């Protein structure tokens, strides 16, 4: 594989990377993005046992994305966790199939 011109001669330090991403070097948190500016369709999928998602935060996110929300899918297994999204033995049936169904509604021909 041949790298693109200039690729090998450049280095990315934290300061330049942060400035390219919109962070200031002294910021601890990224800047807040106004979700109301999102125009692309958004589908939310969650498991009720996912401890990384707090119900209040999820409801707030859902409310703020209501203008572009095309799916709000709750996995029908009450024990479904964050890791189950990828590693769950039943993820294909109860998550991936419904997810693909939503995605089929938004193909490149719709863009």
- Give domain status of residue 92, yes or no: yes
Angle (CA) 83 84 87, round 5°: 85
pLDDT at 3 over 50: no
- Give domain status of residue 70, yes or no: yes
Confidence band for 12, pLDDT divided at 50, 70 and 90: very low
- Give domain status of residue 21, yes or no: no
**Domain housing 77:** 34-110
pTM (predicted TM-score): 0.69
- Give domain status of residue 56, yes or no: yes
Q: How many domains does the chain have?
A: 1
- Give domain status of residue 1, yes or no: no
Cα–chain-centroid distance for residue 3? 29
Q: How many angstroms separate the CA atoms of 24 and 72, rounded?
A: 34
Identify the residue whose tokens are 């996995």.
75
The reported pLDDT for the residue numbered 109 is: 60
Of 69, 74, 71, nearest in space to 35 by CA? 69
pLDDT at 10 over 70: no
Mean pLDDT of the chain: 81
The reported pLDDT for the residue numbered 94 is: 97
């Amino acid at each position: 594989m041949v790298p693109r011109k200039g690729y090998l001669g450049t280095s990315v330090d934290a300061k330049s990377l942060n400035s390219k991403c919109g962070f200031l070097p002294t910021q601890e948190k990224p800047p807040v993005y106004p979700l109301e500016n999102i125009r692309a369709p958004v589908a939310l999928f969650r498991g009720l046992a996912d401890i990384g998602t707090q119900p209040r935060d999820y409801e707030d996110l859902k409310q703020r994305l209501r203008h572009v929300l095309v799916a709000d899918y709750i996995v029908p297994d009450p024990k479904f966790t964050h890791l189950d999204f990828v590693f769950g033995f039943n993820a294909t049936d109860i998550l991936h199939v419904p997810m693909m169904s939503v995605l089929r509604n938004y193909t490149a021909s719709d863009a």
